[in-house]
Amino acid sequence: MIEPVVMELSNEIVDNLVFNSDGLIPAIAQDFRSGKVLMMAWMDKEALSKTCATGRMWYWSRSRKEYWCKGESSGDRQWVRRILVDCDQDVLLFEIEQEGRGACHTGQESCFYRNLSEAGRR
91 lies in some domain: yes
Domain extent for 70: 22-100
- The CATH number that applies at residue 84 is 3.10.20.810
Note whether residue 2 is domain-resident: no
pTM value is: 0.91
The fraction of the chain above a pLDDT of 90, given in percent, is: 84
**Could you tell me if residue 90 is inside a domain?**
yes
Longest dimension (CA), the chain: 53
Please state, in angstroms and rounded to a whole number, the distance separating the CA atoms of residues 122 and 63.
37
Residue 100 neighbours by CB distance under 10 Å: 12
pLDDT, tens digit (0-9, with 9 covering 90-100), for 59-111: 999 999 999 999 998 999 999 999 999 999 999 999 999 999 999 999 899 99
Q: How many domains does the chain have?
A: 1
- pLDDT of residue 121 exceeding 80, the answer is no
Angstrom distance (rounded) from CA 54 to CA 80: 9
What would the mean pLDDT of 16-38 be, rounded to a whole number? 97
